[in-house]
Amino acid sequence: MQYGFRNKAVQESTRIDLLGNKLVLIAAADAAMGDVAIGPGLDLAALAGKGRIVTGDVRAVPVGRYAQAALEKLGLWPSVQSKLAMVENVRVALSLVARGEAPLGIVYETDARAEPKVKVIGVFPSDSHPPIVYPAALTAGAKSGGAAYLEFLQSSLARGIFEKRGFIFLARSSSRMIRLARPAHCYSPRSFPRKREPRGVTRQWLWPWIPAFAGMSGGR
């Protein structure tokens, strides 16, 4: 988003913080371990046993950076740094935990919810890492339909869909919200065009052409 502002590709006045997420600790769904309270006293290294704790690469992948920030804030980083298995994205981390190749993983809550073969066993305190926020804004060349769509994303209908997927809804109605070009009922889910997705690609939350908010927050 900041890159877009600097290059005047995004209308800065339309920017909103649309969604938030949580950082969670996961294990395989059939693992014997139960819920844990994540805090300074947690022996995370012992919890992982002889296995690894998988997350994104802390040098380049956002979820890995959040994980490192949280572990450092809680004083756990020195004891777990050598046990981290760093991968290229959240999906790989989920897969490794789901298959039992790693006993623990640190991922976003929304991704954990989307994988039935893993379970959340702990949530990192929200103040242990920078806020995980997905902003939205109009591009510089956005047409009237874009303005209406941005307002739709802030509606109660969109909120219900986002929250069902585990997102924290941050947008708030205000007097500066963009005016709809058509009545709100015209923007029901069925009114949006649907496009066929590439073979092997699973449909994500909401509708297929909603922007990839993960990219707006710096990726996965």
Q: Where are the domains of the chain?
A: 2-19+134-213, 23-128
Measured between alpha carbons, how far is 136 from 220 in angstroms, rounded to an integer?
Answer: 16
Distance of CA 130 to the CA centre of its chain: 13
Measured between alpha carbons, how far is 218 from 42 in angstroms, rounded to an integer?
Answer: 29
What pLDDT was estimated at residue 220? Answer: 62
What pLDDT was estimated at residue 57? Answer: 97
Token digits of residue 72: 């450092």
What pLDDT was estimated at residue 108? Answer: 98
What pLDDT was estimated at residue 172? Answer: 80
53 three-state secondary structure: strand
For residue 14, give the amino acid letter: T
Measured between alpha carbons, how far is 132 from 61 in angstroms, rounded to an integer?
Answer: 13
Full pLDDT tens readout for the chain, 220 residues = 988 989 999 999 999 999 999 999 999 999 999 999 999 999 999 999 999 999 999 999 999 999 999 999 999 999 999 999 999 999 999 999 999 999 999 999 999 999 999 999 999 999 999 999 999 999 999 998 999 999 999 999 999 999 999 999 999 844 344 444 344 444 444 444 444 434 433 333 343 334 433 333 345 6
Measured between alpha carbons, how far is 213 from 74 in angstroms, rounded to an integer?
Answer: 28
What pLDDT was estimated at residue 144? Answer: 84
Token digits of residue 32: 């014997």
Given a contact cutoff of 8 angstroms between Cβ atoms, the answer to whether 24 and 107 are in contact is yes
Given a contact cutoff of 8 angstroms between Cβ atoms, the answer to whether 217 and 62 are in contact is yes
* Superfamily holding 23-128: Periplasmic binding protein-like II (3.40.190.10)
Q: Map tokens 């500066």 to a residue.
A: 176
Burial of 127 (0-12, 13-18, 19+ CB in 10 A): exposed
Supply the pTM of this predicted model: 0.78
* Residue 17 phi, psi (nearest 5): -85, 105
* Residue 95 phi, psi (nearest 5): -65, -40
Question: Checking DSSP bridges between strand 104-108 and strand 53-56, what pairing results, if any?
Answer: parallel
What pLDDT was estimated at residue 166? Answer: 94
Cross-strand partners of 84: 53
What pLDDT was estimated at residue 207? Answer: 37
